């Protein structure tokens, strides 16, 4: 019978600087744990320390580093930064030693040592190397974890290209010379091979960016065709319930999982039951604290759905104690892409998990917010009416005349405006319509040009 591979074990490392309070520090480590679990790793412990900054060579102080090394089986010492050149005799000796069975019994169960050290900060390549030397474990920082999750969850061609660009930008400065008998055999040769690898990455990045630009041009054309339509974008923190709400509002079979970054691909569907004119709803990639800048840049096209929407729905997990900081993170990312000027509504989701006293506090603190549960049909129906009411307030009534020779444009009229009444005379079909001023102006231009 085939045995399952063991679950990788990880230990979390966090540094609390003076500008971060205890609650925020604990919440950040808890979120890192969820990210690591999303990767399929088991978190077996946490090492935390208060320090003025994280700029040291090993992130942690000497005492905490030794404590971490004791958990991972490392020496606790960074050792020499120079690459150790080995003689052929020494290489054969080391290879033989590695193949010998260990005289000590293998560790198992809870005592097994973690293979990964995950740092809750962005750290430099040299800090990562120093930690690896001291702990004997593979080291990832927060950005590395998020990039790996994005890599695993990307499905569409656009998302895969975006993630690979971010991943290569992350990996490039972390390339290093091999420390022993690999293809890098000396300092000069090692540097030459390293430069060759980096040049390959630069070439690959140029190729990927060209492919992504072609896809984004097609997307820009599709968005331009929807410019005069009613568009709503769901935005917010990862795992806040955007995809569940998308499914409830549109009846679409979008992916819904209790995982961070389960959705990376933008989905656009019509509000159901359909309205006239149609309201399009888009689900966007979730945000998170310390979202890597390269990922924000790579997903700028995806986030353009928010920039070009008529209405943003900020979806917040009201049951999360840190929901306010999560909301600020979401608003910060949207400010970065220039979408903070788009009209918005605040949706306090998962209200079914919140007690009555806390609901009252939420209502007092956010009087204009909508409290709802994506699982409640009544709440979703009320939200639908709110969305329709928002657009109704911006609509105007007008009259269009569709000549008998241009009846093929009738579907375009019904698609972009609500027909209130119809009459006929010698010139054609006379329609009283209601719609957005821009949509009606475009219909007039279309009728005049056809």
For the stretch 29-49, pLDDT in tens is: 999 999 999 888 999 999 999
The reply to whether 119 and 242 lie within a common domain is no
CATH of the domain at 67: 3.40.50.11060
Average pLDDT of the segment spanning 246-267:
68
If asked whether residues 418 and 373 sit together in one domain, one would say no
Is it the case that residue 203 has pLDDT exceeding 70?
A: yes
Domains of the chain: total: 4
Whether residues 3 and 144 fall in one domain: yes
Cα–Cα distances in angstroms (integers) from residue 233 to residues 38, 72, 311, 445, in the given order: 25, 45, 6, 28
My answer on whether 221 and 238 are in the same domain is no
Q: For residue 85, is it within any domain? A: no
17-21, 266-270, 322-326, range with the lowest pLDDT: 266-270
pLDDT for 392 equals 92
User: Are residues 428 and 334 located together in one domain of the fold?
Assistant: no
Kindly report which listed range (144-148, 184-188, 205-209, 428-432) carries the lowest average pLDDT score. Answer: 184-188
Q: Among 352, 375, 392, which residue terminates a domain?
A: 392
The predicted structure's pLDDT at residue 248: 93
Question: Quick check: is 101 in a domain?
Answer: no
Torsional sign, CA 216, 164, 291, 146: positive
Rounded distance between C-alpha atoms, residue 400 and residue 93, angstroms: 89
CA 443 → CA 14, 286, 447, distances in Å? 58, 35, 6
Are the CB atoms for 431 and 418 separated by under 8 Å?
Answer: no
Q: Record the tokens describing residue 250, joined without a space.
A: 């549109």
- Answer whether residue 65 is part of any domain: yes
More confident residue, 179 or 435: 435
Helix, strand, coil: what percent of the chain each, to 5?
50, 20, 35
- Judgement on whether residues 127 and 219 belong to the same structural domain of the protein: no
Q: 114: which 2 tokens?
A: 């973690």
pLDDT per residue as tens digits for the range 266-279:
778 899 998 888 89
Which residue range is the domain that position 7 belongs to?
1-76+112-153
Kindly state whether residues 31 and 125 are assigned to the same domain.
yes
Cα torsion through 37, 41, 42, 43, rounded to 10: -70
Are both 149 and 161 inside the same structural domain? no
Sorted by sequence, the CB contacts under 8 Å of residue 168 that are 6+ apart come out as 201, 204, 205, 208
């Amino acid at each position: 019978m085939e045995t399952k591979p063991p679950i990788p074990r990880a230990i979390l490392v966090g540094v609390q600087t003076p500008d971060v309070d205890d609650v925020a520090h604990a919440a950040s480590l808890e979120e890192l744990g969820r990210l690591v679990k999303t990767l399929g790793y088991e978190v077996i412990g946490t090492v935390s320390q208060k320090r003025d900054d994280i700029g040291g060579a090993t992130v942690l102080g000497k005492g905490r580093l030794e404590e971490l090394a004791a958990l991972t089986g490392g020496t606790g010492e960074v050792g020499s930064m120079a690459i150790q050149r080995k003689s052929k005799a020494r290489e054969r000796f080391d290879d033989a030693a590695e193949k010998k069975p260990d005289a000590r019994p293998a560790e198992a169960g809870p005592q097994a040592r973690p293979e990964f050290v995950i740092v809750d900060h962005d750290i430099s390549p040299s800090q990562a190397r120093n930690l690896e030397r001291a702990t004997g474990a593979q080291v990832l920082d927060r950005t590395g974890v998020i990039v790996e999750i994005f890599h695993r969850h990307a499905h569409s061609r656009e998302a895969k290209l975006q993630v690979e660009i971010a991943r290569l930008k992350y990996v490039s400065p972390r390339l290093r010379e091999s420390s022993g008998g690999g293809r890098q055999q000396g300092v000069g040769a090692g540097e030459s091979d390293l430069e060759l690898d980096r040049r390959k990455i630069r070439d690959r990045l140029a190729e990927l960016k060209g492919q992504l630009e072609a896809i984004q041009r097609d997307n820009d054309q599709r968005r331009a065709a929807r410019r005069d339509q009613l568009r709503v974008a769901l935005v917010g923190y990862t795992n806040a319930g955007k995809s569940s709400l998308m499914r409830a509002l549109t009846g679409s079979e979008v992916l819904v999982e209790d995982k961070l970054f389960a959705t990376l691909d933008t989905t656009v569907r019509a509000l159901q039951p359909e309205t006239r004119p149609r309201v399009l709803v888009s689900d966007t990639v979730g945000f998170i604290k310390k979202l890597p800048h390269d990922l924000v840049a790579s997903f700028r096209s995806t986030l353009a759905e928010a920039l070009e929407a008529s209405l943003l729905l900020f979806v917040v997990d009201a049951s999360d104690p840190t929901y306010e900081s999560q909301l600020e993170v979401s608003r910060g990312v949207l400010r970065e892409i220039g979408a903070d000027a788009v009209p918005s509504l605040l949706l306090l989701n998962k209200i079914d998990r919140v007690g009555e006293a806390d609901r009252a506090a939420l209502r007092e603190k956010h009087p204009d917010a909508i409290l709802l549960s994506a699982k409640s049909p009544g709440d979703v129906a009320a939200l639908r009416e709110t969305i329709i009411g928002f657009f109704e307030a911006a609509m105007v009534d007008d009259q269009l005349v569709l000549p008998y020779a241009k009846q093929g444009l009738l579907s375009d009229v019904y698609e972009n405006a609500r027909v209130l009444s119809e009459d006929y005379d010698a010139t054609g079909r006379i329609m009283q319509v209601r719609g957005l001023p821009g949509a009606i102006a475009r219909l007039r231009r279309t009728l005049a040009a056809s």
